[in-house]
Structure 1
Amino acid sequence: MRWRVWLTVGLLLPLAGWAVLASLYLGHAPQWLRWLLALAWAGLALAVVLRRRRPDGARWAGAALVAWLLFLGGWSLQQPQQARAWSDDVAQLLQAQVRGNQVVLHNVRNFNWRSDTDYDARWETRTYDLDQLRTADLAMSYWMGPAIAHTLVSFGFADGRHLVFSLEIRKERGESFSALGGFFRQFEEVLIAADERDILRVRTNVRGETMQLYRLNLSPAAQRQLFLAYLDQAADLRAAPAFYNTVTSNCTTVVFDLARRIDPGLPLDWRLLLSGYFDRYAYDHGGLMPGLDFTTLRTRGDITAHARAVTDVDTFSTAIRQDVPGESLP
């Protein structure tokens, strides 16, 4: 009797709970089918619980386990796609051509946002000289409390231009982000390269998010390596689409994974899951501007007010950095 209880409560009920959620987020299946599958799993779980003390309880538990394994097999066959009706802001894939120090980037986003639904869509081809790469900054945009932030990296060049890389869900038209859906292959992922006047400004000035900006403590060689690593990531996603995952493949884990190419000894940490504290993780491992305590870096790195005060978008990148430590360094 004890093993039946353990099997039911300790194993089958959690598996059935996962199946209910996986059914509700089952790819592009019709809504009626998703709800039908979810209700079927809930009903099967209830039947197993009610019959666990009866002579046929073991058969019900075994049948439920077999059903779960079959469902898992079918669920695992879902494949990420490149061709869907994508939202305008993630419609294009970054493409890079690297010739020595010269990098030509196709599909750099430079939207002019008036609201989340009112914008001028612009995708540009830009050329960058890696010998002119001067800075790398960590940007963190807080949209759901202090524990959750979107993580971006911005590269600055000698001519004053800044290019931001951001791993995001590749939303379809009318689709919105769901952290829970991100566990169940609900979204593909995309690497966006964008102008700061687009990708930072839309978060602070249009969506009302709070943003921190930190100068990363990287040598010129490491900056270059990180920049090229982002291009490799974009090429990988262009060649083979991938699913976004709320925990294992998101805007923060991609920064960590690419940073590990520079410092393979970087350890795993709970702050990779609670992304709002990733700045402290970076500080603790020497990744932020040295010589100042974390509180000072965080206080002076809050660029939200500066961003919202900008009236001339051409001065946006300069204006948001007026108090950020390290901005005066070459």
Structure 2
Amino acid sequence: MLRLAEDSPDQLKEGTSANIRSRNTGNSEPAAPRKASRWLRTAAVLLGLTIILLSVFFGFAIHYWLPWPEWVRTFGAWAFPILTCGLWFLPLRHRLARRTAVLLLVSGLAFAYAIKTPPSQDWVALMEKSPHMERQGDRITIVNFRDAAHAPGTAPVIHWTRADFDLSTLDAADLILQPFGDLKGLAHVMLTFRFADGRHVIISMESRQAKGQSFDPLAGFFRRDPLYPILATERDLIWERLARTPPDPVQIYPLLADKAVLRQYFERVLAFVNAIHRQPIFYSTLTESCMTTFINLAPEAFIHVRWYDIRRWVPGYSLSLFQQLGLVDHSMPAETLALRRTLPDGLSAPQGFASDAAWSAYIRQSLDGPTPAPAP
């Protein structure tokens, strides 16, 4: 005989209330699991986007970073993101195993990328030797001080010397800007320090180029080239740019800072040069470039630039920043100042002057007054 169970009035009331709550919410799933499910979906989307970005990044890294033949690097640059994204996103079997393989592959590349140090290579002649400093008190000797002679259309004649300077006689410094044509955001930044005898040490932070390579700003994001400080005469680094066809514009801005701060700045730069002579580091378009390296080394008394100021990262817009900080003449708009501080066309080559100091004085007189003739 079949017996039907009877529910008590309280049980019926409780069940009715639950049904009403379920109909009102439209979902019988409890609130806590729903919230956890949303977080999991969000995390899955973010992880997928991270995998896409890392796949593209390491695709570029394979192209710029690994010392393989170019066709292998080009193939790897395309194949790596396609492979990793395919393994991660395609709706195939063994999804957990495929995604684990992708995570291991990306993690392995990231580890190798992080610990990589610049390898020794066959460098171009102008970057063949690594400069460094020897010091005894105020007396310093710059080893592998470059003094190359440049002439239009011919290979430079390179001289590597040992140059002695007395830090107690450092009396001024200039900012050098080299704009790149009509691309307003692009420029090269150099610093030059003057001593009482009229000689200068001009410093340019560049990416060191192996033979057969050329400068590529994208490569600076992917640890291809070492950072290379050039310590040289002005008749080398400035005339190198003026001797090109057509000549590059070069602007010279006297720095408005006292001698003690300039000396501290120069000493910090030289200490950095010695450090990377012992252990090379990579050039970085963002963090160790022609401009950011100098900003990183600047004493707080000299310059302090917020990390979010775009002019810190884009040298072509840096002049207004230096004016705002009071480091260069700020009595006129940046565009007017740039016109006044650009070296004129038709300057005489340094070979016609008795010394580097004489040529340095000559090019500055071309900005401050009538252009003098070279010494006989």
* Equivalences for residues 8-87 of structure 1 within 5 A: 10-45=49-84, 47-48=86-87, 51-52=90-91, 60-81=98-119, 83-87=120-124
Letter in structure 2 aligned against 1:119: P
The count of corresponding residues between Structure 1 and Structure 2 is 322
Q: Which residue of 1 aligns with 2:312?
A: 272
Q: How does 1:138-177 map to 2 (within 5 A)?
A: 138-143=175-180, 145-177=183-215
Unaligned runs of 5+ in 2: 1-39, 370-376
Task: Indicate if the aligned counterparts of 1:215 and 1:324 stay in contact, CA closer than 8 A.
Answer: no
Are residues 1:319 and 2:362 paired?
A: yes
Instruction: Please tell me the residue identity of whatever aligns with 1:287.
Output: L
Q: Which residue does the alignment assign to 1:230?
A: 269
Whole-Å Cα distance in 2 between the matches of residues 264 and 199 of structure 1? 25
Distance in 1, Cα, partners of 2:303 & 2:314: 21
**Cα deviation, residue 21, structure 1:** 0.6
Secondary structure of the structure 1 residue equivalent to 2:365: coil
Match in the other structure for 2:168: 131
Query: Could you list the per-position Cα deviations for residues 161-181 of structure 1 after superposition, in whole angstroms to 9, with x for gaps in the alignment?
Result: 222011111111121111111
- Within 2, Cα distance between the matches of 1:7 and 1:41? 20
Match of 2:126 among 89, 104, 128: 89
CA deviations 1:47-91 (Å, max 9, x no partner) are 247625x6655654443233211222223332123x321111111
The SS at the match of 1:105 is strand
Aligned twin of 1:105:
142
* Alpha-carbon spacing, 1:8–1:130, altered in 2? closer, same or farther (3 Å): closer
2:322 aligned with 1:282: yes
**Matched residue SS, 1:181:** helix
Scaled by the length of structure 2, the TM-score of the pair is 0.77
Name the SS for the 1:200 alignment partner. helix
Q: What is the DSSP-based 3-state SS (H/G/I as helix, E as strand, rest coil) of the residue aligned with 2:67?
A: coil
Secondary structure of 2:298's aligned partner: helix
Point out which structure has higher relative CO (alpha carbons under 8 A, 6+ apart).
Answer: 1
Task: Show CA shifts across 1:240-295 (max 9, x none).
Answer: 11111111111101111122354474422211211111222111111113555534
Relative distance call for 1:295 and 1:180 in structure 2 (3 A) is closer
Larger Rg: 2
Unaligned runs of 5+ in 1: none
Q: TM-score under structure 1 normalisation?
A: 0.87
